Amino acid sequence: MLRKSNPTLFEWASSPIVYKTTPEWQTVSACFPDYFLSKPGLYHYLSMAEGNYRDYLKQDMVRLKKYLYVLRPIFACKWILERHIPPPMLFSELVAAEADPSLLIEIEHLLEIKSRSPESEKVPRIEPLNHYINETLPLLKAQADALSRTSAKSYDALNRIFLDVLMREPTHETIEIPIQS
């Protein structure tokens, strides 16, 4: 999964919430930057955004959280296209770096309403956000399609790490890291 640049692994590695970690995980995650590939990351986030947009945000009444399920992947795609590194997990970081300034008021309003509403509550579709999403998704798809496919790195480094972890003396110690809010 790492060799093929599975975005879920990169999200786990960069999550601000860490329940438990081990020296083995720290060894493995240290090599993550060498294995990130932009094109698979873009297709992953595009698929998320397109699916949620198609399935949930084209109706008259929508769940607010579905906007987050579309906007975060869009901003993640923009991050990847600009930096060629995995995007941060925190929505606030992506908004600060990638949101169109004309959308900031809509996004702040969306987050404010969502914080006061039950998860299942539906609201009228937010037209400025739908317009932005509808225009942005095809552009991102075209940019992703235009990227050349980069070959995955060899298994050599991963095999060395795997063997190193296997050969270590077993420990029952874990490093507890406090959860950040």
List, run by run, the mean pLDDT of 10-residue segments along the chain (181 residues).
88 88 86 91 97 97 96 98 96 97 95 91 94 98 93 86 84 62 57
pLDDT, residue 125, reads 95
Q: Are 70 and 57 in contact (CB under 8 A)?
A: yes
174 in any annotated domain: no
pLDDT, residue 173, reads 60
178 in any annotated domain: no
Instruction: Tell me the DSSP string of 23-48.
Output: HHHHHHHTTGGGG--HHHHHHHHHHH
Domain that holds residue 125: 7-167
117 in any annotated domain: yes
Number of domain units in the chain: 1
73 in any annotated domain: yes
179 in any annotated domain: no
172 in any annotated domain: no
User: Where would I find the H helices in the chain?
Assistant: 7-14, 23-29, 38-56, 64-83, 91-98, 104-116, 127-146, 156-167
Q: Distance between CA 45 and CA 137 in Å, rounded?
A: 10
Q: Distance between CA 52 and CA 55 in Å, rounded?
A: 5
2 in any annotated domain: no
52 in any annotated domain: yes
